[in-house]
Copies of this chain bind each other. A is one copy, B any other.
Amino acid sequence: MTGILAGLRIVEGSAFIAAPLGGMTLAQLGADVIRFDDIQGGLDSDRWPVTKDGRSIYWAGLNKGKRSIAVDLRNPKGRELLTALITAPGEGAGIFSTNMPARGWLSYEELSKKRADLIALNIVGTRDGSAQVDYTVNAITGFPLVTGPVGHEGPVNAVAPPWDLATAYAGAMAILAAERHRRLTGHGQRIVLPLQDMALAATSALGYLGEAAINEVDRPRFGNEIFGTFGRDFRTRDGRYVMICIFSDRHVDALAAAGGFAEAFAAIESRTGHDLKTDAGRWNARAELCAVIEPWVAARTADEVGTALKKAGALWSPYLTFRELLQDKDAVQENPLFTVIDQPGIGRYPVAATPLQFGAVPREAPQPAPKLGQHTDEILSGILGLPDHEIARLHDEKVIAGPC
């Protein structure tokens, strides 16, 4: 291990996105992250998308670079093994992350009896412990009712799950904060992170609750427009879409240069009195800006539009499908973030490393996700010091399992 987090060991009992992605984030930075699952697999072991023969591409994406141990979670002997693993000695060990119900043997109270300075991150649904997922949390945030086309009735759900992503990275951060605290004081602790509170805190940070409270308005749907400045999608002659934004003076000038809009923009300013160098001016003149830009984009191919915007240094981007993104040279094919790896049972495809570049250590290439139980024996031997005959007996008794 040569990553920035070399020396840390996290034991993870997890499923779905938030907890697994938090652990993977630490694994891709060099921590030894051990995910345990029941010998039957976790709740997410078959989660879609899957390959034609049913292997979970989803699971492979969210568990890269971890080690896997498979244990019968209903067997008291299996629970004892995992308790020993979670609470094993070592300066950088004794860290547990879970979004399973942290009750009974998995509770902080029980586990910390075996290691007093244990750090345990419990990701829960709501603060009172009831189940929630990104989709149910998102429904109450208010965002689905302002997302989607103007005139659409009803909610529009997010596909990229914002609250799972936030919880994953904030949870990983919390583990490092607690590990710092332990290093300074010697004390471990339990950390509780409710997915719902994560979403509510972010919604508060983004100003939506403040706007509702102070201005006493429910913001309407603005479709693809960026509220409070200028930005939206445009359709090209060849039926493609581009996103064009203005966030600063420089972007106004660049966009004007790209399309030859300088005179038209000046005319908008003098006709409407809106100053395009301000957020408010751009927002209030957005229909007029659109009337200038839309026909220019519509008369050109995506290539022509992109070339002009790029040359002028405008703030823009094409819309891509997932397959187009996969083939995109700059974003994927020639991006050092990606490495083509062989994911056993699934195949060879480009997979991302951590997006973080630490100057002190080289970025590690992404590693495949483990097979279920791939590291059962080496973990029991290497960390718990179990002799081979004992491991063999545990296999015979079906307390543990290796890879199928």
Contacts and interface: CB of A to CB of B under 8 A. Distances in A.
A224 B157 contact: yes
In this complex, the member of A29, A62, A183, A360 whose beta carbon has the largest number of chain B beta carbons within 10 angstroms is A360
B218 A323 contact: yes
Given A48-B280, A360-B189, A320 B140 contact: yes
Given A46-B279, A331-B200, A338-B204, A160 B143 contact: yes
Interface stretch (A72-80, A292-300, A347-355): A347-355
Mostly, the A contact residues are mixed
A204 B352 contact: yes
B189 A226 contact: no
Q: How many copies does the complex hold?
A: 2
Contacts of A141: 160, 320, 325
Q: Kindly state the interface size class of chain A when it binds its partner.
A: 35 or more
Interface string A137-173: 1111111111111001011111111100110011011
B170 A58 contact: no
Nearest to A59: B207
Contacts of A140: 317-320, 325, 328, 331
A373 to B, nearest CB: 21
Interface string A315-350: 111111111111010011001111000010011011
A215 B346 CA distance: 10
Interface stretch (A240-248, A263-271, A383-391): A240-248
A205 B142 contact: no
Given A149-B156, A155-B233, A231-B135, A205 B245 contact: no
Contacts of A276: none
Interface string A210-229: 11111111110001101111
Contact of A135 (B158, B196, B197, B245): B245
Contacts of A160: 138, 141, 143, 147, 158, 162, 202-203, 206
A179 interface: yes
A358 B141 CA distance: 24
Contacts of A229: 47-48
20 contacts: A16-B247, A49-B210, A50-B228, A54-B280, A58-B206, A61-B210, A133-B247, A136-B316, A136-B317, A148-B148, A169-B170, A170-B173, A170-B356, A191-B358, A209-B326, A212-B323, A212-B325, A213-B350, A218-B322, A218-B323
7 residue pairs, one from A and one from B, having the closest CB atoms:
A48-B228, A213-B349, A169-B169, A136-B317, A204-B352, A197-B355, A173-B173
